[in-house]
Amino acid sequence: MLYTGLQRLEYRGYDSVGIAVISSGRLVVAKGKGMLRDLEERLGFTKYIGSMGIGHTRWATHGAPSDINAHPHVDCKGLFAVVHNGIIENYDELKKKLVSKGHIFKSETDTEVIVHLIEEYYSELGDVYEAFKRAVKELRGAYAILVITPLEDNKIFFAKKDSPLIIGVGDNYNILASDIPAVLDHTRYIIVLRDHWVGYVTPTRIFIEDLLAEKPVDYTTYIRIVEWSVEEASKGGYPHFMIKEIYEQSLALKNTIAGLKSSQELPHAVKVIAEAKRVFVTGAGTSYHAAEFYALASNTLTKLLTVPFIASEYEVYGTAVNESDVLVAISQSGETMDVLKAVRSFKKQGARVIAVSNVVDSAIPRESHIALYTRAGPEIGVAATKTFLTQTLLLAWLLVETAKYTGIFSTSEYKEVVGALENSPKVAEISIEKSDKLVHDLSTVYASKTSMYYLSRHIGVPVAREGALKIKEIAYIHAEAYPAGESKHGPIALVERGFPVVFIVPGISGVERAIKGNIEEMKARSAETVGVVCEESPLKDIVDYVFEVPCPHWLLTPISHTPPLQLLAYYTATKKGLDPDRPRNLAKTVTVE
């Protein structure tokens, strides 16, 4: 159970792996640097037998990836083992205190302080759970913690703040995990734990208490049934999650549309935005590109000033807002710390916050005033694909509803655009099918490139940025994206024979005309040009390689124009022998600042 659970969670971090089990009354730990499958060969995880255990895949924050720094960590006497996701901010001060009391630390991690603290308090209090709680109360920062000990050999102790943690509720077993796919092989009954909850599970019992409220939690009211099947959370016959998820985009859009049509939150969000003085919109990475798309579309359609910003820069904006402002916070995982911090800082100033997420009940929606959900299903590949398309659809929908509410759209205009949005699953499907036929040759050419540009204008700019991010993170090719008009202000100096420039050409006639000029200026420097253009666009004849995609409405540009760029990144990576699901140095969910 531990091994398959860790396999399902490997996407969250994977520089080292470890497990601890209670076997014949003894604590046994196996851990090391590397990926799960390599360590299985080296350490033979599956030979560790016990009825209870904990496991961890790590993405280094404090201390480099190494055998010693891998979790679980144990105390001096080898009585307690801990795994932890998050960052203990006050670990330095706690470590000094513990070292002065004689504790010997083996790793450079922040996590190890937790287990020595428990050891310390256990020797004082003689009760494991009380010692655990006392230790947790001393921690500052973010944590999802699990602890086992042969002293209480049928309990797993847990604590949660800021980092995600769930319980999979089973029949004669219970499972704790950072994310839902880890438990789907066994159960679909889930409790999403809240901040400051601590407790323990046995095979037949769950005990939770709220450390702040200092009272037990009736967990039965928090049990949810998850609709995702195990198949949905696994590769379903594709070689990688990324390509599976690219092909799932049409379905993900269909499900998201169904969700929007029945959403009770959407009308509230529309009203809040319509009444705002200014709208800020934020996210990180791909979700920031969705934010930029929303701002460009909103500034084009409505008279409401809409400002996009990268979530980690929240302090610049968070202090300049007030009650009449709104923040739209976008995060597929709902756990990205930079976005969470932005939400908190805007809320502190009195702004209303609308979350857009793919994970129900995750931290960002929970802390926002209104939560809107995409229904992309679990996204396992580190590269965001289907969540980007569904985010942009949801945001376009939100905007169109707002335009209707404020009278910018007449009923017939509204119906026309909603009709186009409803057709988005078909648009994605055609775009993927047509591109997959053409992308193979091009990816062979691009596998040997070291640098490239992705250019566009207007609503195509966030799509260009998304294309550049995809090829960077998956195929390790340096790529820069910027509005095409900027070339002559500097970047064109790099262009020489064969330099690849990908143009994203939205179906807006003025924009198309302007981009034509930009293509010509690159061709004049012997650049190798690729165009993602609307079917039958005259620009198809002037680029070296062309992807023609359907363009029913400019609001659908991310949905029509992004798939060829995702496929280009995917196939270029696989041609280079890289694993697109596990790009180096990256984790799927970034729960640290």
Binding site for ligand AGP (CB under 6 A): 284-287, 331-333, 336, 339, 382-384, 469, 473, 586, 589-590
- Judged by beta carbon, residue 335 or residue 512, the one nearer ligand AGP is 335
CB count in 10 Å sphere of residue 90 = 14
CB of 382 to ligand AGP, least distance (A): 5
| Residue found by looking up tokens 């990268």 in the block | 310
CB of 287 to ligand AGP, least distance (A): 4
Look at residues 424, 234, 268, 292 and name the one whose alpha carbon lies nearest to residue 352: 268
CB of 339 to ligand AGP, least distance (A): 5
CA 302 to CA 363: how far, in whole Å?
30
CA distance readout (Å), 261 to 193, 266, 294, 358, 371: 29, 9, 19, 16, 15
CB of 505 to ligand AGP, least distance (A): 23
CA 10 to CA 189: how far, in whole Å?
22
CA 227 to CA 275: how far, in whole Å?
35
Look at residues 581, 182, 101, 112 and name the one whose alpha carbon lies nearest to residue 383: 581
CB of 143 to ligand AGP, least distance (A): 19
- Name the 3-class secondary structure at 26: strand
- Judged by beta carbon, residue 341 or residue 369, the one nearer ligand AGP is 341
CB of 285 to ligand AGP, least distance (A): 2
Q: Which parts of 13-127 fold into alpha helices (H)? A: 36-43, 91-100, 112-125
- Judged by beta carbon, residue 88 or residue 311, the one nearer ligand AGP is 311
CA 89 to CA 139: how far, in whole Å?
8
- Judged by beta carbon, residue 115 or residue 281, the one nearer ligand AGP is 281
- Judged by beta carbon, residue 112 or residue 473, the one nearer ligand AGP is 473
CA 329 to CA 364: how far, in whole Å?
8
- Judged by beta carbon, residue 165 or residue 217, the one nearer ligand AGP is 165
CB of 543 to ligand AGP, least distance (A): 26
CB of 392 to ligand AGP, least distance (A): 13
Distance of CA 115 to the CA centre of its chain: 29
| Pairing, β 189-192 against β 166-169 | antiparallel
- Name the 3-class secondary structure at 137: helix
| Pairing, β 500-504 against β 528-534 | parallel
- Judged by beta carbon, residue 198 or residue 329, the one nearer ligand AGP is 329
CA distance readout (Å), 298 to 276, 294, 459, 562, 582: 13, 6, 10, 20, 35
- Judged by beta carbon, residue 255 or residue 331, the one nearer ligand AGP is 331
- Judged by beta carbon, residue 311 or residue 321, the one nearer ligand AGP is 311
CB of 332 to ligand AGP, least distance (A): 4
